[in-house]
Amino acid sequence: MINDVSHVEFADELSSTEDLVLVDFWAPWCGPCKMLAPLFEELDRENDDVKFLKVNVDNNPQLASRYRVGSIPTLLAFRNGDLVDQMIGFRPKSDLEGFITRNR
């Protein structure tokens, strides 16, 4: 299950696991974000060893600013609480799978 987290919960969510954490920075008005959502959900079901989170940039501008999210959707990969990679824009599922594989 994908948690939609706020700036209050974000640090706790990152520190609660040693697994790879993928965070989708999105907004409800964003067309490419809507296209990414079902792929993100599929990947969540297919990757038990990866934690998937979503951050609504409209509700959490401080997180978007902190991680310099200037375009959405933006996926950030974290390991042990540290940012290790990012992917900007909508991509096909195969690109997302490659992103997960290289950051495991």
pLDDT digits (tens, 9 = 90+) for 16-59: 888 999 999 999 999 999 999 999 999 999 999 999 999 999 99
In the chain, % of residues over pLDDT 70: 100
Which segment of 3-17, 29-43, 55-69 scores lowest on mean pLDDT?
Answer: 3-17
Predicted local confidence at residue 1, as pLDDT:
82
Structure confidence at residue 87 as a pLDDT band (50, 70, 90)? very high
Q: Say which of 20, 21, 23, 33 is annotated catalytic.
A: 33
Order the strands of the 3-4 sheet from edge to edge.
3-4, 50-56, 20-26, 74-79, 82-88
Is 83 an active-site residue? no
Is 30 an active-site residue? yes
Q: Say which of 5, 20, 30, 100 is annotated catalytic.
A: 30
- Domains, the chain, in order of start with CATH, read 3-103 (3.40.30.10)
Residues 21 and 50: their CA atoms lie apart, in Å, by 6
What average pLDDT does the segment 48-76 reach? Answer: 97
Backbone angles phi, psi at 82, to 5 degrees: -105, 140
